[in-house]
A and B are shown apart, each in its own frame.
Chain A
Amino acid sequence: MSEVIVITSGKGGVGKTTTSANLGCGLAVLGKKVALVDADIGLRNLDVVMGLENRIVYDLVDVVEGNCRLKQALIKDKRYDGLFLLPAAQTRDKDAVSPEQMQKLCESLKEEGFDFILIDCPAGIEQGFKNAIAGADRAVVITTPEVSAVRDADRIIGLLEANGLNNPMLILNRLRIDLVQRGDMMNIEDVTEILAVDILGVVPDDEAIVIATNKGEPAVTNQESRAGQAYRNIVQRIIGQEIPIMSFEEQPVSFFEKLKGLFRH
């Protein structure tokens, strides 16, 4: 059975592309056949996050316009068997593709035998968003615990439901455990209560993500990274396993550390 999942957020910069790359790799590690589709036409980025930027010949618009066959445009990731990337066009704009064409593209990808087709949606609620969600079976909404991101996520959830994508799943990204513990950041319950959706996962803020993105190697395979662990858990939940949300309790801070903290402010 194959499934098209769109990864969306409304607000830009909350981690859609990073999440797409990590979930795609994570699913491929488990032996699934995965197609990552970059639907952010004009602002192509999934290729660099994946470290595949030097291998692009054809792109999504070429496929849609019939300049090449689908198989020619799919870039095979050499590190993970069964992982493919369909890059976005960089020199075109969002109107180059219509929702109907995206639907057809998703159908063709399903016929290719992919288990999962992950679509990295552009920020915003305009044409690019409408294109990205057109062929999707379900939706994942990414947000960070900030007022602007949560507000946009709420808007996106409304628009997804208006387009028949009911019960989108939420990923809370870049949670700062230290800030939550001293009450200066909304916690998991605050965000899920406000948005009234089910939570698919929580990814802590982790510098391993920055380092991984610098190198073009998704952090999901980094065994030491907490964000990597969080992504592995999300992947398990996507394939139907029930994994509890990881605990974010920090080690109690020593007296000396607290004393240092007092003088720092």
Chain B
Amino acid sequence: MDFFSFFKKKNVPPSGSVAKDRLKLVLVHDRVNCSSQVLEMLKTDIIKVISNYMEIDEEELDIQITQTQSEENNGTVPVLYANIPIKSMRKVQD
């Protein structure tokens, strides 16, 4: 342990790793080339389809593009992440 680290602020991540994390997130969006407008349209369509089967909480609905570890080539791949809270099921007629 460095003697002088005693005087430094604790629990603040160094700005280098902040930069890395911000960059990673920004590049996920850049690489899939998906504008917020497209994402909004996708969101509306998803709500429309799911609403046929269940009642969902549109306020709490969360759709975003993030990344996940790829199984194939050790890299990361973009994923579409959706968290859709269900209020109740609708009766679906056969």
Contacts and interface: CB of A to CB of B under 8 A. Distances in A.
Contact of B16 (A151, A154, A185, A196): A185
A183 B16 contact: yes
Contacts of B30: 151, 154-155
Interface SS majority for chain A: helix
Interface string B48-83: 000000000000000000000000000100000000
A151 B4 contact: no
B88 to A, nearest CB: 44
Interface SS majority for chain B: helix
A186 B14 CA distance: 10
Interface string B8-19: 000000111101
Q: How large is the interface on A (under 10, 10 to 19, 20 to 34, 35 or more residues)?
A: 20 to 34
Contacts of B7: 262
Interface in A142-189: 146-147, 150-151, 154-155, 158, 179-180, 182-187
Contacts of A187: 16
10 contacts: A147-B22, A150-B23, A154-B27, A158-B31, A183-B15, A190-B17, A194-B24, A194-B27, A258-B4, A262-B4
Given A187-B16, A194-B27, 13 more contacts: A147-B23, A150-B23, A183-B14, A184-B14, A184-B15, A184-B16, A185-B15, A186-B20, A190-B20, A194-B20, A194-B23, A196-B75, A262-B7
